[in-house]
């Protein structure tokens, strides 16, 4: 009988969303692996346990897994405000308009939670994803990838209130 993981992967591969995939799950002291699809479609070579994959932007899923482990252990709750662990995010301001002046803000109605981060709805974003002052070089929100973000000085780094809108961003995760 085929595992649920293999069945799910086959659906993705059969619909050509992926050429192939390999998984490894460690549970109860035992590793379980599943390899499905092709590492080289043209040469008809299957994915194997030692197939090498190019990975990009892995910080977000790895951070999400770590957060979900903390959740599973009861160390955090999805509804916990992140200010308990990162007080720099207290007294946050929300832009009145995503395209408006950076000094036109209101106090956030509530704190950002772990659920907001895990579902990518924290309101934090990359400035260069947007038009207007928030996306202009020199704004507190604007920086290029690999530049160090401002944690303390930028209290206006919220484009929208948490939970109102999905927004890809610096301090959010994509997977949950």
Strand blocks (E) in the chain? 20-27, 30-40, 45-46, 93-95, 105-107
Task: Tell me which of 57, 90, 97, 172 is the catalytic residue.
Answer: 57
- The single residue listed with the structure tokens 């990518």 is 120
68 contact partners, CB below 8 Å, separation of at least 6: 118, 176
CA distance 66 to 80: 16
101 contact partners, CB below 8 Å, separation of at least 6: 133
Catalytic, 57? Answer yes
Tokens encoding 48: 């194997």
What is the set of active-site residues? 57
């Amino acid at each position: 009988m085929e595992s649920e993981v293999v069945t799910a992967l086959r659906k993705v591969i059969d619909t050509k969303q992926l050429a192939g995939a390999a998984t490894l799950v460690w549970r109860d002291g035992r590793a379980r692996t599943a390899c499905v699809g092709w590492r080289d479609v043209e040469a008809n070579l299957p994915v194997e346990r030692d197939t090498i994959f190019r990975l990009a932007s892995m910080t977000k899923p790895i951070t999400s897994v770590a957060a979900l482990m903390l959740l599973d252990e009861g160390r955090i709750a999805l509804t916990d405000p992140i200010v308990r662990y990162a007080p720099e995010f207290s007294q946050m301001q929300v832009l009145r308009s995503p395209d408006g002046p950076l000094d036109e803000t209101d106090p956030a109605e509530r704190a950002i939670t772990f659920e907001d981060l895990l579902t990518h709805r924290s309101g934090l974003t990359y400035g260069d994803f947007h038009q207007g002052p928030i996306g202009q070089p020199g704004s507190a929100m604007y920086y290029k990838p690999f530049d160090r973000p401002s944690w303390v000085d930028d209290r206006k780094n919220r484009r929208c209130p948490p939970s109102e809108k999905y927004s890809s961003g610096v301090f959010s995760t994509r997977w949950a």
